[in-house]
A and B are shown apart, each in its own frame.
Chain A
Amino acid sequence: MAGVEIRNLRKHFAELHAVDGVDLSIRDGEFLVLLGSSGSGKTTLLRMIAGLERPTSGEIHIGGERVDGDVPPRARGIAMVFQSYALYPHRTVFQNIAFPLEAVRTPRQQIEEKVRWAAEMFSISRYLDRYPRQLSGGERQRVALCRALVRDPKVFLLDEPLANLDAKLRNTARDDLKRLQRRIQTTTVYVTHDQVEAMGLGDRIVVMERGKVRQVGTPQDVYEDPVDTFVATFVGQPPMNLLDLRDPSLPPGTLLGFRPEHFLPRSGFGPGEDVRGFRFSVRRVEYLGSDRYVYGSVSESDTPDATVIAKLPGTIALAIPEGETHEFAVPRRALRYFDAATGLRRRL
């Protein structure tokens, strides 16, 4: 087992800076999630750790050993699962899982034992004689994980392994994955663009944008204490509301941010609570079962048309008629401030 150290890592494809100076320290046994939209450089970063892409500059250390030079993928002690699973189409499930063991000339009997053990773990023992094309998406995904597991890698690299599963299966697969990682305690780097996956799986999340790391922190840090407006609006569904208020009590050029679930009818707060009130003209209400999303605008805003969203839990039964103005409020402890020019967080 081993941690991964990344120092000032860059990858340039001609003009495009896919990964643009990343420093990252992944702890031994940690489940780290790289979160970003497509083109943020998260997959390129993962492929450089795997050795499938050669860095333009910078260093990668796995388990204290520098690997960014000529250490080929097979010698890095890693296992990877691709989004497409990359199963060998002409090999059975058994042969697929046995493949990495055959490559290092493991004795036949040991291969047999190990494959059966891993298949048992993912409950795919029944399918060992089938070919990948005869399996469902979820079963293929488990075969790919099995194949990664039998190598006893120092680091697991997972590139959106759940992206091709349907929504229902994804939840259980996520749970399986997390339980497995807790059990075997192997350092894991997991790439995704799905923030729910990132929040649910990661011990820590790395938010990436255009080749740069915007924030590294626990899911709670990233959600509650975003370092800039990008992270604030990228993480969270619906995103954080950002308002440009002409508020004399704030320094000029300050954006006010708050999460939709903190933006609630004033009547819901006690008289002693420290809140900031808004006059919220409601345009539309979306009923989503467990929640209601209320879309509208706030008149104090510098751009009065900008959409502000409130997320009301099902426990608030208060009727919110569309087209009317309501008294809403945000607890002051839930307010966040950002610099309008740079987008960076301001601590007031």
Chain B
Amino acid sequence: MTRRDLRRALKRTGLYAAALGFMLFAGFPFYWMLITAFKQNRDLYVGASDLSHVPWIFNDPPTLEHVRLLFGQTDFPRWVLNTLVVVVAVVAITVAVAVPAGYSLARLAGRWGERMGMGIFFTYLIPPTLLFVPFSRLISLLGLQNSLGSLILIYPTMTIPFCTWLVMGFLRSVPWEIEEQAMIDGYSRLAVILRVAPRLIVPGILTVIVFTFTLVMQEFVYALTFISSVEKMTVSLGVPIALVRGDVYHWGALMAAALFTSIPLAVVYNLFIDRFIQGFTMGAVKG
């Protein structure tokens, strides 16, 4: 083996070691969630009293007791449904508003577009803790308190500014020339926007969807402010309220809830991950 081969082998090993490290870092919470959700309470709450106890394996046979608690004694399925309703509505509103807004600011508004985009982005930086008091007045004025409608109305105020800015940034990487070419090739500006541009910004739209999805799934403050009945709650609100009672944490059921919400999400993200990374316009310009 020459020195060069050796160095290459070392480099490879280092690379794999680093990748493995990151994989463990990312995967461990999932693993912890998984075993906690199916451990018997006896196995779960040993604490520091028994030093011979190994926490990261099943010491007792796994159990479905926590899952039964989650599905049988809480409104978990209902919350999932509520969350889905809110997510779908907010994603639809955000895409419908942010994509055209980002497109027009990036392509049609000239030099002012950039500045207005920045301005819109700044509104995203105002923390929800400042806004929920005025928002709650607005919501009660509209008669939307304690309804999913309040969340569907409020969440876009966070997602639209950021996503508009996201789309603008994405469009900067898509050469304008392709759309100009379409205008020369026989399309009107409107036809270009409706028929040519959407294909070019698919990855940008997907990013908007994922961002909105994530934000809505994890939102807590507004949900806590506007929703009071258990059957109207979303997952992020219902789970901690129902499963943290005083100072009693139902860890098994909490982790089961986290598991059942995060696994479908992880699968969906992995399906799309190539689309985000893919240089979609590669080959369209330059040699």
Chain B residues within 8 Å of A104, by CB? 186
Interface check B210, CB cutoff 8 A: no
Is A133 within 8 A of B177, CB to CB? Answer: no
- Which residue of A is nearest B287, CB measured? A137
User: In the assembly, what is the distance between CA of A51 and CA of B183, in Å?
Assistant: 9
Is A86 within 8 A of B189, CB to CB? Answer: no
* Segment with Cβ contacts to A, from B70-78, B112-120, B259-267, B277-285: B277-285
Is A86 within 8 A of B177, CB to CB? Answer: yes
Is A84 within 8 A of B185, CB to CB? Answer: no
User: In the assembly, what is the distance between CA of A73 and CA of B208, in Å?
Assistant: 32
Is B178 within 8 A of A133, CB to CB? Answer: no
User: In the assembly, what is the distance between CA of A74 and CA of B180, in Å?
Assistant: 10
- With A52-B180, A86-B175 as known contacts, state yes or no: A147 contacts B283, CB within 8 Å: no
Is B177 within 8 A of A72, CB to CB? Answer: no
Interface check A82, CB cutoff 8 A: yes
Q: How far is the CB of B204 from chain A (nearest CB, A)?
A: 14
Interface check B199, CB cutoff 8 A: yes
- Which residue of B is nearest A139, CB measured? B287
Choose from A50, A78, A100, A134 the contact partner of B283 (Cβ within 8 Å): A134
Chain A residues within 8 Å of B287, by CB? 136-138, 140-141, 164-165
Which residues of B161-200 are within 8 A (CB) of A?
175, 177-178, 180-189, 196, 199-200
A-B contact count (CB 8 A): 90
Which residues of A79-111 are within 8 A (CB) of B?
79-80, 82, 84-90, 99-100, 103-104
- With A84-B177, A88-B196 as known contacts, state yes or no: A132 contacts B283, CB within 8 Å: yes
Considering only CB atoms and an 8 Å cut-off, how many residues of chain B contact the other chain?
A: 24
- Chain B 43-86, CB-CB to A under 8 Å as 1, else 0, gives 00000000000000000000000000000000000000000000
Is B175 within 8 A of A74, CB to CB? Answer: no
- With A52-B180, A80-B181 as known contacts, state yes or no: A86 contacts B284, CB within 8 Å: yes
- Which residue of A is nearest B281, CB measured? A89
Q: How far is the CB of A266 from chain B (nearest CB, A)?
A: 48
Chain A residues within 8 Å of B180, by CB? 50, 52, 73, 80, 82, 86
Q: Which range contains the number of A residues in contact with the other chain?
A: 35 or more
Interface check B42, CB cutoff 8 A: no
Choose from B186, B280, B283 the contact partner of A103 (Cβ within 8 Å): B186
- Which residue of B is nearest A50, CB measured? B184
User: In the assembly, what is the distance between CA of A136 and CA of B188, in Å?
Assistant: 30
User: In the assembly, what is the distance between CA of A151 and CA of B181, in Å?
Assistant: 13
24 example contacts (A-B, Cβ-Cβ < 8 A) are as follows A73-B183, A74-B184, A74-B187, A80-B180, A80-B184, A82-B177, A82-B180, A84-B175, A86-B177, A86-B178, A86-B285, A87-B285, A88-B178, A88-B182, A88-B196, A89-B178, A99-B185, A100-B185, A103-B185, A133-B282, A133-B283, A137-B287, A140-B283, A164-B287
What are the nearest 4 A-B pairs in CB distance?
A133-B283, A137-B287, A103-B186, A84-B285
Interface residues of A (CB under 8 A from B): 50-52, 72-74, 78-80, 82, 84-90, 99-100, 103-104, 131-138, 140-141, 147, 151, 164-165
